[in-house]
Amino acid sequence: MKLFLVHCGFYDPQVCNGLYEFHVNLLIVAESFEMARMKAKIEPEFIQKRMHIDGLQMIEAVKGYRLELSLDLALEDRSLIILKHHHDLAPASQ
């Protein structure tokens, strides 16, 4: 299995009457680009926001480190993403 980043776009009718396109990235584990595309399209958020796919990337290595995915049955098909909230703003102009 490989890790894919699926770049999705959508229009939110509640923001400026849907004039501007918003984007999100979904992390998908699949065997191929086509499987990643199919899996992204059945994600609840994808369906709810009527998204479309702008692009896909298969991530094999980052900065010299290869990614190795292994199934963890204890996770019961859930994702485990650890967040660190931050609020780094550019300095105020004077």
> For the chain, what are the domain ranges?
1-25
- What is the distance between the alpha carbons of residues 42 and 48, in angstroms, rounded to a whole number? 10
The beta-strand segments (E) located in the chain are 2-11, 21-30, 52-59, 61-62, 65-66
- What is the distance between the alpha carbons of residues 64 and 54, in angstroms, rounded to a whole number? 27
Q: Tell me the whole-structure pTM to 2 decimals.
A: 0.83
* 90 pLDDT tier (thresholds 50, 70, 90): confident
Q: Say how far residue 6 (Cα) sits from the centre of its chain.
A: 5
Average the pLDDT over 60-78 and give the result. 95
- What is the distance between the alpha carbons of residues 74 and 71, in angstroms, rounded to a whole number? 9
Percent of the chain surpassing pLDDT 90? 79
Residue 61 has pLDDT above 80, yes or no: yes
Residue 84 has pLDDT above 90, yes or no: no
Query: Structure tokens of 69?
Result: 């995915």
Give the pLDDT of residue 85.
83
